[in-house]
Amino acid sequence: MITQTIRYELANGIATITFDEQGSPVNTMCLQWQDDLGAVTAQLVTDRAQIKGIALASAKSTFFAGADLKGVMRSTEADGPRVFGEIERMKKHFRTIETLGVPVVSCLNGAALGGGWEVALLGHHRVAVNNPKISFGLPEITLGLIPGAGGITKMTRMLGLMAAQPYILESKLFGPEEAFKLGLVHELVASPEELMPKALAYIEAAQGKPEACTHVWDRKDYKMPGGTPSNPKIAGLLSVAPAVLKQKTRGLYPAPEAALAAMVEGAMVDFDTAMRVESRYLAGLMTGNVARNMINTFFFNMNAIKGGQSRPKDVAKYQPKKVGILGAGMMGSGIAYAQATRGIATVLKDVSLEAAEKGKGYTARLTQKRVDKGQMSAEKQQGILNLITPTASAAGLKGCDLIIEAVFEQRELKAMVTKEAEPMLAEGGFFASNTSTLPISGLAQASAKPAKFVGIHFFSPVDKMKLVEIIRGKGTDDETIARAYDYVQALGKLPIVVNDSRGFYTSRTFGTFVMEGAAMLGEGIPAPVIENAAMQAGMPVGPLAVLDETALSLSVHVLEQTRLDFQKEGRQYVATPGETLVEQMVKQHRRPGRAGGGGFYDYPEGGKKHLWPQLQALYEKPGVEWNLQDVKDRLLYRQAVETARCLAEGVLTSVHDGNIGSIFGIGFPAWTGGALQFIYGQGIEAFEARCAALAARHGSGFILADAVKAALRQHQPQY
């Protein structure tokens, strides 16, 4: 029996079910597969008398990839009953297969994630290829979903309520060896060719042994490891679990809460009821906005980035071999670390050898922490350090196929180091600036080859931040963009490609967040309200705290540079209310930010930071009316409006770059799916209406021009 997604063969008493979705590189739980599973299950029931055992296998390089996420993207709240019915129908087939009274063996030749791991759990016996590159587990929470094809119920019953939590609530993945130690995989083999012989041997040995044909939870003597929720010790731990979870999710992510509820409620009832409880929670999430937002961005948009959708086509793949960095400060030393840990030879130049050596010391400190924890050998550490060559001479850069300038944000200084270093490039090499705000086309004027000049904007701290913004100047050619893209991916980071403008995409949009916060303070809204509202909306930190960390003095420097640039163009730059307040803080109140001793916050030595008490007297106006939802919306909508404007202006050329860039670059809340998905998730018309209401009360920052409205409709994703 051959269907579009499954092959069924019965020979010598062995029913082999091979998953092989036609036209797809992986197996998924698409609707066709669900129908085919029903047909195969019916055939198994018909053939039951002839079957000694069942082997589950895959014709792909992986075992099974999981759910059909495009189907989830098309679901709405009204689809709840239908979705619940589909989940239950699939689980009914699973249940029929695992209770036929014959041994079922899962042959795991490759990765089994999400629904794929739940398919693997059908087997009473699981055999896996012992390859450390293979991953198993339940990553659904990261997409706003929960494991709902038996994953929660079965993992909880196998590991216990407490031990299963990391694998369900935190989406912890595991390889074959860990699976074996946990008892989730029963045998390991060296190659895929050994899987079927092991399966046949197990089936043969299982004949006449009922326990070999049943899961542990179906046995009369089954007891949940660690105890059920009625156990006083477990009950005590569970009583605080929701509060701990709420602290992490801030109530914005329903999936972890649903998963915990399904685990606990399921542990108090029989297996079949627990499976139904799990289905109900999953159906609710699958038809909700948060899951659609997160699937859109963390699956589809992320795959677009990794697959190089913004990379110019028809350019040969580039592998960086030797890269020079100008400036061994915080950014330059961070880039050196990122390169050396990925095996890229690095020349780190500063004005003195001492400064360059100090920059190399950053890599020594970070790797030493890993050595101390036993995560890296001393030999590996030395190998990494050997890749970094400190120098004070431009001649030391000779032969680099890429040089990145990471000096202070001053146009004249950047021009000087560009002219000094660029002649040292190897033939065919290219030059990049790590500027966060200065237009690349302007900086490229110092270059002898503007076509080979590009912006590569890293985020601080480089060792932790995954995003890198690639900026195309007016003269930058496709080959240079493609090479920059490949370089960023070689560092294991996420590249987005944007066109040149003041502040590009991330700095420009991030500026609207912090300045909206400062503007609200200037209006008299209490600082604690602004900071807490940002956190409640899902931002990692409040706008005033961020301004302190990035330095208020830097914001003022950028403002002054902008005024000068406008002046040269014969225009006058009008500062926003937020910029005006930040300038007051620095110039009148001598509060430059954390590094300068204090800004919006005080930083007592050995104590916890707290808001500067003078803010209340200086800015708070007791009679000012404010609404918490308005404060939250102003912070999120202002960033979303700026993102939409970037899309309309062509600074952003794709939705995936905007969503990934906003989450990984400026901390836009993950529950929204990013700044553009925040718009699409609620509907363009609803977004426009809310912006109009905010603009009427809070100014032009929320106005959507007709061109912006048109761009949003033009780029709206279809599933």
The catalytic residues are: 118, 140
Is the bond preceding 25 in cis, omega lying within 30 degrees of 0? no
* Cβ burial, residue 383 (10 Å; 0-12/13-18/19+): middle
For residue 237, the surrounding DSSP H or E stretch is: helix 232-249
535: which DSSP letter?
Answer: H
Distance CA 59, CA 251 (A): 42
Distance CA 24, CA 50 (A): 32
Residue 78, C-beta contacts closer than 8 angstroms, at least 6 positions apart? 287
Beta bridge partners of residue 113, listed in sequence order: 137
How many Cβ atoms are within 10 Å of 70's Cβ, its own excluded? Answer: 13
List, as one string, the DSSP characters of 271-309.
HHHHHHHHHHHHHHHHTSHHHHHHHIIIIIIHHHHHTTT
Is the distance from CB of 29 to CB of 68 less than 8 angstroms?
yes
CA atoms within 13 A on the CB side of 273: 7
598: which DSSP letter?
Answer: B
3-state secondary structure of 125: strand
Distance CA 687, CA 681 (A): 9
Distance CA 183, CA 163 (A): 12
Alpha carbon of residue 344 to chain centroid:
25
Calculate ∠ Cα 349-355-361, nearest 5°: 95
Distance CA 320, CA 314 (A): 18
For the chain, helix (H) and strand (E) counts, in that order, are 30, 20
Tokens of 562: 């902008």
Residue 240 φ/ψ, nearest 5 degrees: -100, -15
Is the distance from CB of 6 to CB of 27 less than 8 angstroms?
no
Distance CA 11, CA 44 (A): 13
Is the distance from CB of 585 to CB of 599 less than 8 angstroms?
yes
How many Cβ atoms are within 10 Å of 256's Cβ, its own excluded? Answer: 20
Is the distance from CB of 135 to CB of 111 less than 8 angstroms?
yes
Beta bridge partners of residue 432, listed in sequence order: 404, 454
**Considering just the CA atoms, what is the radius of gyration of the chain in Å?**
29
Calculate ∠ Cα 670-671-672, nearest 5°: 90
Q: Give the pairing type, strands 14-19 and 6-11.
A: antiparallel
Q: Give the pairing type, strands 453-458 and 467-472.
A: antiparallel
Tokens of 538: 């899902």
CA atoms within 13 A on the CB side of 607: 8
